[in-house]
Structure 1
């Protein structure tokens, strides 16, 4: 009888353990991105995150083991001159066609210098392809080379399970575009310039360990894509280079950006319309305009973003820290947003929501209270943010009078002026503003 009781007890413990583990592993991996309204700092889901990390390590190991069996397609074998002065675009196109058509292959760019005109690496392709960029790709700087497509330099589109890596450099050679920008030369008309690297309509995409510099305009853009992992990017351009966003996310869902260093003349990361479940971790940002959601609602458009999380960032010497920016007259929403574990150093606007953005050059600005619609902002959490502000106002919520910001939470905030004086917080039209723990500065008007 004692043996039977022991067996029944052991079996019960096994069943309970199995149910617990199975339930944990069935958790949606994207739930960690959504805002939790509990005051606790811990996001939970540790068991799943550890399992997910182990799974990623296993996948990386399998990928490494399989790489030895993949066919290597070297651009030099297809006629690339690799001297940095002769156009190598045709060689890259031929090599790509071979990789895409055959599958089970790696497009290899050795440690040489290559000059490239605009190229579109299009799919769909046969499964299991990679692009290993070890050399330096330099963009052609003659604007006439971009007559057919003035918005792009290198594009990967309509590809599933693509892996791009290698430690190489993509140089957008953007000086000629910057000099002719209306922001640098007031006599020039305002027009768009090429994005250096674009991933369009890709699925299950991994991009890691690349240097992207001196883009004509945006450095790297992810658009209309799904299930994207980005890590180990170094993005660099002069502080006065116009519109040179580092990483731009639009109409993309389930994207993780991690362990990247970004310093440009515009936003380090910009997240715009149609983006859902975006997570950025361990980001170093500066110089530039900070990490931005928006702008949203331009031209009275309806824009929606949700499930945005920035967890772990060092932001220094930037115009903004973490920002949400929406145009007057737009519609839609920006919701379920969390900024946490962020260090600020000499940032002009460390925490800012601007729901009344208006470019006076393009149209007259509406008067406060006259707007008929707005991109509504709700469920935003700022947690564990500290450092220094280059201005007296470290926290600024400039929300719509008719469509106020809703459910804004500040938790464990410690921001002071660069010289050590107390900073200010200005809050206009915020509905349900809450504080948890030490929060400094606090809004005088709530």
Structure 2
């Protein structure tokens, strides 16, 4: 397929409907002679059980250096991840990514259903001009580290019109991501839509020009958030979360610069120019809005038209701010001491 240089038709690898295909760890590696390559999945692609995995690998299906790749269809990619979600103290020390795209500029991924990944379901890294649309990603709420979509070191990515519910982030926006647009995504269960985590072990990382809009988050432990480790270096800048519905969600709006309880340090990733606009719904505890910034501070943070109430009358919703500079208009629950 990759060796074809046909100019009139796009080389296509087809998995027909009505069939299940057992596929072990497989890498598709470019560059390809054709400007486009098409993988069409109409049947079910089935991963090995953990006991049959063989040599440890951090990936199941991977595409490397394949530009102009089209992956679509009405089929299912089943990671059979149940045995990976528990204890990993023996054997392989990491959970494999089900579907990895590395250096795949111009990728178009659409239509497929992704279920029960052993780790991340979809991971895009070191790529640009990417479109992901109309995908469904599901794994049980208690499945560990089963992110729906992870984006890292990539530029010009669009994610739209998709349904994601897993045991971790619906979408995780990692370091090196620029110009990302996320819209019309239904998220839940899971940990919400997150920028980060960034800066672990003092790493220098950045993310910028991110727009998340017209999304809903239902029954998740997190809503829209930015999470960084104390001691990291770099910046998160130019992030807009707007027109978001949250329903029975803990931490609907959250900036956490002490991720996993990491202690305050002299340096931290800078968080600047972040807007939370038109976000409404309910939270399961009092944690409606939590902006917990490092001493270096979060600057130019804007809360506009926010209305979040607690579903528990014994735990009324609240807004908590630490080291925040910015503005707030018409946000509920209010906190007049938030901004300075």
Verify same fold: TM over 0.5.
yes
Aligned counterparts of 2:107 and 2:4: Cα–Cα separation in 1: 19
Q: Is the 8 A contact 1:256 1:278 kept in 2?
A: yes
Q: For residue 163 of structure 2, what is the aligned residue in structure 1?
A: 261
- Is 1:163 aligned to residue 70 of structure 2? yes
Larger radius of gyration: 1
Q: For residue 445 of structure 1, what is the aligned residue in structure 2?
A: 337
CA deviation string 1:166-193 (max 9, x = no partner)? 11100000011113346xxxxx699311
Q: For residue 411 of structure 1, what is the aligned residue in structure 2?
A: 304
CA deviation string 1:346-387 (max 9, x = no partner)? 00100000011146xxxxx43x4xx12101100000011000
Q: For residue 106 of structure 1, what is the aligned residue in structure 2?
A: 12
- Give the match's secondary structure for 1:203: coil
Q: For residue 393 of structure 1, what is the aligned residue in structure 2?
A: 287
Gap regions ≥5 residues in structure 2: none
Q: Which has the higher helix share?
A: 1
Gap regions ≥5 residues in structure 1: 1-98, 183-187, 360-364
CA deviation string 1:67-104 (max 9, x = no partner)? xxxxxxxxxxxxxxxxxxxxxxxxxxxxxxxx110143
TM-score where L is the length of structure 1: 0.72
Equivalence map 1:347-358=2 (5 Å): 347-358=249-260
Tell me the CA shift for residue 146 of structure 1.
Answer: 4.6
Aligned counterparts of 2:117 and 2:28: Cα–Cα separation in 1: 19
- Is 1:153 aligned to residue 60 of structure 2? yes
Aligned counterparts of 2:94 and 2:336: Cα–Cα separation in 1: 41
Aligned pair partner of 2:327 in 434, 438, 445? 434
The 1:345/1:372 distance shift into structure 2, 3 A limit, reads same
Q: Is the 8 A contact 2:50 2:81 kept in 1?
A: no
How many residue pairs align between the two structures?
331
Q: For residue 95 of structure 2, what is the aligned residue in structure 1?
A: 193
Q: Is the 8 A contact 1:118 1:146 kept in 2?
A: no
Tell me the CA shift for residue 257 of structure 1.
Answer: 0.1
Aligned pair partner of 2:177 in 264, 269, 275? 275
Aligned counterparts of 1:190 and 1:210: Cα–Cα separation in 2: 28
- Give the match's secondary structure for 2:107: strand
- Is 1:314 aligned to residue 216 of structure 2? yes
CA deviation string 1:249-289 (max 9, x = no partner)? 00111000000000000000000110001110000000000
Aligned counterparts of 2:260 and 2:142: Cα–Cα separation in 1: 22
Q: Is the 8 A contact 1:107 1:130 kept in 2?
A: yes
TM-score where L is the length of structure 2: 0.94
Aligned counterparts of 2:257 and 2:94: Cα–Cα separation in 1: 25
Aligned counterparts of 2:333 and 2:244: Cα–Cα separation in 1: 16
Q: Which has the higher strand share?
A: 2
Q: For residue 117 of structure 1, what is the aligned residue in structure 2?
A: 24
Q: Is the 8 A contact 1:283 1:312 kept in 2?
A: yes
Q: For residue 141 of structure 1, what is the aligned residue in structure 2?
A: 49
Aligned counterparts of 1:200 and 1:234: Cα–Cα separation in 2: 21
Q: Is the 8 A contact 2:224 2:254 kept in 1?
A: yes
